[in-house]
Amino acid sequence: MHIETRLVQIGVGAEDRNTGAVSFPIYQATAYRHPTLGESTGFDYTRTANPTRSVLEAAIAEVENGDAGFACASGMAAIQTIMALFSQGDHFIVSLDLYGGTYRLFEQVLTRYGLSFSYVDLRDPAQAEAAVRPETKAILVETPTNPLMQVTDIRAMVAIAKKYNLLTIVDNTFMSPYFQRPLDLGADLVFHSATKYLGGHNDVLAGLIVTKGRELSEKVKYLHNSIGAVLGPQDSWLLIRGMKTLALRMERHQENAFRVARFLREHPAVTDVFYPGLADHPDHEVQKRQASGFSGMVSFRVRDAKQVAPFLRHLRIISFAESLGGVESLCTYPATQTHADIPAEIREKVGVCDRLIRLSVGVEHGDDLIADLRQALDASLEASLEAGGCTR
C-alpha cells in the first residue's frame, strides 16, 4: 500500500478479536492478568509494553521501513535512550547546525558521563571523515538542520560510517517519514520529536525511535524498558490520531512553505531565506535525491536585529511560540528560544545570529499567512528606520 493508506489505516483491524473498534482503544492499564503460571498475554507491565503504544510503535516502524519502533515520553527522551547504547569514552560526529536542546543534552549532561562530541559541517563528507577518531562510535545527522535548513547527504554519511564501522543515526523530525526515510538510504537508526509533524496538532509531547537490524533493535528494546521514559497510552492514542492525517498535512505545509519562502525573498525587510525547496538553495539537489519533498520549515534573516521585536509584536495569525510541525503556523526566535543554551559565539559562528527567525508554516490559507507576514514585516521595517537601524 501507499504510505497515505498505511498512515490512515493505523490500528484499523487490530481490535477485531475483541470489539471491532475502528479507532484503536486507549488501554489505560498498568498491570495485566496472567492466564496461568508461566503464561502471558504479551502484556505484563505497561512500562514494558502497552497495547495502545504497541500499535503506535508498529506503525512508525512500518512507515519508516524499519524493524522495530519505540515510543518515548519526548524527543529528548528518545535521544537519551539512544545515547544509552554507548559507553564512557565514546566519541560522536554531529551536525554543526543543531537543535539547541540536543546540544544542551550532549554538552551539559552527557559529557559528564565521559562522552565527547565533534560538531562538523556534514555537508562536506571530507570534514566528516577527517573527524573520525579511534574512539568514534556514531555519526548523528540532523537533516535538514534546525534552524538553517542545511541538508546532509545521508548516503555519503552512511558510506563513511560503514568504512569505519560506525552507526548512522538520523534525526528525521523536520521531514517526517512521509517525505524522507533515512533507513532506506542505509541509516541504522532514525528518531523523531513526534511532538512536531507526526503529532501535528501542538497537543502531545512524544518521541519515536526506529531501528534497523535485529541486534540493534534488541539493544534499544532493552534500554527502552530499563530507562523507562516511555510514552503513556493517552499520548500514544493522540499520536496515532495525528499520524493518520500526516500525508494530507505535509502536502499543505509544503505548499504553503513554498509560497511563504517566495514571498519572503521579495520583501525589502528580508536579506536571506533558507528553504531547501527553492531551486537556488545550495543543497536543493541533495534534498531532491534523498527525499520526496521539502516540508514546511522556513527560516529567514531580517536586515537589522531591531526589526525582530516589532515583527513578532505585529503578527496576528502566526503565533510567536517555541515549537513546530502543528497545523497552526508558529514563529520562533532561535537566539532566545530553541538555541539559547548554545554559547553566543558558537551560535553566531554557525550562522544562528540575532537576525534569524524560524517559521513553522501551518495549514491555514496561504493568502492569509502572506498577508500577516507582509504587515508584520512592513511594521518592523518602519520601526527599524525610526530607531536608526537599516535603510531601505
Q: Catalytic residue at 99? A: yes
Q: Cell triple for residue 209?
A: 525511535
Beta-strand relationship, 319-320 and 330-332? parallel
What single-letter DSSP state applies at residue 331? E
| Catalytic one of 97, 171, 188, 304 | 171
Q: Cell triple for residue 169?
A: 543515526
Question: For residue 221, which of 47, 90, 374 has the smallest C-alpha distance?
Answer: 47
The rounded distance, in Å, linking the Cα atoms of 291 and 204 is 26
Please answer whether residues 148 and 352 qualify as being in contact, where contact means their C-beta atoms are separated by less than 8 angstroms. yes
| Catalytic one of 27, 99, 119, 178 | 99
Please answer whether residues 301 and 354 qualify as being in contact, where contact means their C-beta atoms are separated by less than 8 angstroms. no
| Catalytic one of 196, 249, 252, 358 | 196
Beta strands in 23-90 (DSSP E): 68-72
For every residue of 202-232, DSSP letters joined together read S----EEEEE-SHHHHHHHHHHHHHH--BPP
CA distances from 336 to 118, 131, 218, 322 (A): 24, 30, 39, 10
Which residues form the catalytic set? 47, 99, 171, 196
